Chain A
Amino acid sequence: MSHECVTPERLDSWLALPAEDPRRQELEACPRCRVLLASYAEFLDGPKDRDPELLKFLNAPARKAVRPWRRWQRPLAAAAAVLIVAVGLSRWDFGEPPRPSIQRGGEASPSFAAEAVAEEDSLLFSWEPVAEADHYVLVIFNEDLSERMRFPAEAAMELTVEMAEIGQPGQAFAWRVLALADSDEIESSALSFMQLP
């Protein structure tokens, strides 16, 4: 008797088979399939109540889609960004603020390039792809380098954020991009300082 273990895509059709169906019996004879089928049945029988707390991430600030025709603006805007960063650095209080904590075994060395470019009323953050990373997160820090907010970027290599979402005009902040694989932080960009125009 040949047997092919059930795949998640087929769980519903297998579960719909009556217990006396030979195909179902064959499946139930395989411990692995039996565990998977029983698990899925238990999952479906779980509590139907909603947990809005778990869906709070859907209320995260909306991101603007970057239109391809605007990409040519980057070189020009990059020069403006350099100026902004320079101004921001000149006003930065270089006391001894607490450093933002980096998970995964202490301070991770910055390992991929990222830049921020000012566009009208938003900032375009972009970065190099990181091998093995399946998603990225932009982290914004306050002046005292405490974490202010995070913007999930999924698997994209750029993210547009409204300046108003980050803070008030003239407000200084720092940012970095985290590359994650399977929820593990694998690399991060250098911490960069900026001041909102």
Chain B
Amino acid sequence: MSNSWPSEVADETLLQEAVQHAQPDRRRRAASELLGRYSGRVLDWCRRYGRDEDDARDIAQTALIRAYENLASFEGRSKFSSWLFAVTRTTCLNAVKKESRRRDEPIEDDASLVDHGPTPEERLMSIQAEEHRWSVLRDVLDDEEQTAMVLRYGEQMLPDEITRAMKLTSKSGARGLLQRARRKLATHFEQVDGGESNVP
């Protein structure tokens, strides 16, 4: 399938052609050019979530098919790149959730925090005001720990996926980061509770 658009043609122009052109073949070629521009970036992003290269390619193709199928519903309220990013990100998160359901993987435990009342993350999530919740994270954790917590409890990603997503190279990966974050939070809540501790 050869494309005939120079690179300076705007995404929005291609999008219009991909959706509205009278000739189906022209619509398809415009879509191919538009999605092709981002195919490398979509795949690169999906590599963070896939178990291996094949899995990443499967997720990337699913994202691109989903984008293609929904081109007509793109309302142009944002740039095409941010819309495609949202589609890709959602597809990746769905793939991760599907995989974790398939594996029925339990949430990792920190032995020191078991059976001592609500866990720090339960305490955190029980904070009703979202603003306050994030401010606790911000005040107590460093940037890397905050990111790991957001991905784990905001996006429901598994530790292994977070390790890949954050490109962590340490042996313990996100698991270690999350445990460190939970200990910090436990200490924080212990202080807030004025001595009532949920950790030994």
Contacts and interface: CB of A to CB of B under 8 A. Distances in A.
B79 A12 contact: yes
B5 to A, nearest CB: 13
Contact of B64 (A39, A43, A55, A182): A55
Interface stretch (B29-37, B111-119, B187-195): B29-37
B98 A55 contact: no
B93 to A, nearest CB: 11
Given A30-B134, A54-B43, A183-B62, A9 B82 contact: yes
A44 to B, nearest CB: 6
Which of B35, B65, B77, B130 neighbours the largest number of chain A CB atoms within 10 Å of its CB?
A: B65
B39 A40 contact: no
B89 A62 contact: no
A9 to B, nearest CB: 4
A8 B150 contact: no
B68 A57 contact: yes
A51 B39 contact: yes
A109 interface: no
Contacts of B64: 54-55, 57
Contacts of B149: 31
A46 B89 contact: no
A76 interface: no
B69 A8 contact: no
Contacts, number: 122
Query: Chain B binding site: helix, strand, loop or mixed by DSSP?
Result: helix
Interface string A1-26: 11101001111100000000000000
A53 B89 CA distance: 20
A96 interface: no
Contacts of A51: 36, 39-40, 43, 60
A54 B98 contact: no
B89 A47 contact: no
B171 to A, nearest CB: 23
Contacts of B78: 8-12
B49 to A, nearest CB: 12
A57 to B, nearest CB: 6
27 contacts: A1-B131, A8-B83, A9-B77, A9-B82, A11-B78, A11-B85, A29-B138, A31-B146, A31-B149, A39-B89, A42-B45, A43-B41, A43-B45, A43-B85, A44-B41, A46-B44, A51-B39, A51-B40, A52-B36, A54-B60, A55-B36, A55-B64, A57-B65, A58-B68, A135-B69, A155-B69, A182-B94
Interface of B: 1, 24-25, 28, 31-32, 35-37, 39-45, 57, 60-62, 64-65, 68-69, 77-79, 81-83, 85-86, 88-89, 94-95, 98, 130-131, 134, 137-138, 143, 146-147, 149-151, 154
Interface of A: 1-3, 5, 8-12, 29-32, 34-35, 38-40, 42-44, 46-55, 57-59, 62, 135, 152, 154-155, 182-184
